[in-house]
Structure 1
Amino acid sequence: MMGASLLSDKSEYKDAVRLRSLLRAIHNSNVFVLYQSADLAYVWAENLPEAWSAQWRVGVYDHELVQEAMLARLAAAKQGVLETGEPTRVEICLPHGEQSRWFELSIDSDRDDAGVIIGVVTTGVDITELKRREQVLKTLLREVSHRSKNLLAIIQSIAMQTARYTETIDGFLAKFRGRVQSLSYSQDLVTDSNWRGARFHELVHSQMQKYIDIGDPRFTLSGADPYIFPGAALHIGLAVHELIVNSAAYGALSNGEGTVTLSGRFENAGTDRMSLCIKWDEKIPGSLKGQNPNARFGSAVLERIVPISVDGTATYRIEQDSVTYALDVPRSHFEL
């Protein structure tokens, strides 16, 4: 009899150590446990977070703890466990101060030695931060989808305009690739800034890199350097691309004597009508090398597509010895 008693004592000791260790592990984690009797009255709880503990007590029911919007979902889950004995999971939200906390609950049945369900065990984990990250991700994905649709619309417009004013497939491909590449350069800057936009000077440099060295004395960039917001950056980049391509092929940058000055200037600073005036001033000694075959599409981009896209206005003038372009961008499309 004494041996049986010692074995019983050892078994009870091991159970006590195991229970103590489990309770310590629970208290050191983000997990909490709730136990309800078969009539769903709460019997005990461990490691309750504040969103639960404020109202919890022995004998309380779910309708006293959970808002009505979440109660039906929780009640149905627990009733299903009582009826089938199959575990289930459910997510609920509880108010906590001025905010809310989200919890994932794993609900299972508790059975006696005869296999009869005598209670419900709920294991909960606070998933509020996970929910917030999911919401941020969803917002970002919606933003990416929106921007992608806008970008595809721009590319479609470029394709149509390029095809309209190009006589051969080879000519179309050459021009279209250049314009899509222009969008790519601008998009890289926008992405690198975490969608904030692109600095005006940096945007210009990105468009120049394929056609002229930044240090070329024939080209001068000066003046204001604000952050251009993403949508406007793509269109302004496209305008700069058209101007540089035309100049490198037919204008001032096609010889060693011409000059180009590109500047940014704030108009009506400090008022509601504040805007960014972007001015391209190209001086060509002698005259242009004949008619510019890009002019018609360039005119459509520079005088209609770009200003409409940035809610601004533009003027574009091609003379025999000069090319000038001015684009006025409202304050809503840039920040200082």
Structure 2
Amino acid sequence: MQPITRRTNAPRTPQGAADLDEFDAALIRALQADGRASIHDLAIQLGASRDFVAQRMHLLTHGGGLRVVAALDPGFVGHHVLVHAKVEVDGPIAPIAEEVIQLPDAVFVSMTSGPLPLVFESRHGDGHELLDVLDHVRRLPTVRRVLVSTYVEVLKGFFVSHGQTDIVLDRIDYELIAVLQQDGRTSYRALADTVHLSPSSTRARVQRLIDAGVIRIAAIKSGSFSRNRLAIGVGITIDGPPDPIREFVMESPYIDFAVRCHGSYDFIATLVSASSSQLLPAMDAMRGLPGVSALDSWTHYDIVKEDYARTLGRVLVRE
């Protein structure tokens, strides 16, 4: 008599290192889509047990460089000029990176591969502020040149909201944003204790901020990249219609940041995956798109600054 095999819908736990890397990458993508998703919902989405998801979340956020935080919409705080800059350095990169980190307008700084091995993103109220920053960077010792692209439209990104509506914020809203910029998964009970409201009223206020496009709560992965997160920046130059490129970057699961810009490039994107074997076909596909005349790429070795919370102070001062 043959033994009866019982089928079960019980969640499975990844076994090998490769499976675990893929699971962590999927968990990060889920938190990038919704940074406040519950462990229960994440477990259902990823097909794993709640205990396992909680364990991986703990490992990623305690030593794995993963943070779930709220990012303010740049336009809300008066930053209408957003740029991407690549810096050519004659000598070690680290000393120049340390200088750029100190710039209050620089929100992202990364040491990369290629002939221009320092990349930074900065945000400014107007073009004069931008020129001041670029002049400062160009005067730094060993800096040979700075290539700049100005963002026209952010297609994908951590700080991109799904829509914006007019909204008037009060002191309680600012206090909630300040806490969420440090930890986007702070419980509603803890948030309520901070602002002296009920948890239900606090939940409603946070959801209002998200729905209005003031903040977006999502995961960001900082520091050195590991085997479960390889990131490659891509600069695209076009000689035809932009629509095929726009459609590709919006639909690709490997692109977590993309902008339409002018300057050094017409599009800039960041491809992220657990494996180069997934990213290389995506890059080849981009090279074959109609209208793409050139594609430049650089690997992110180490993100040394990722600061999206600094602008809240300026808003509070205005109040």
User: TM-score under structure 2 normalisation?
Assistant: 0.22
Greater relative CO, 1 or 2 (CA 8 Å, sep 6+): 2
- Which structure's residues are more often helix, by fraction? 1
Which of 1 and 2 has greater Rg? 1
User: TM-score under structure 1 normalisation?
Assistant: 0.21
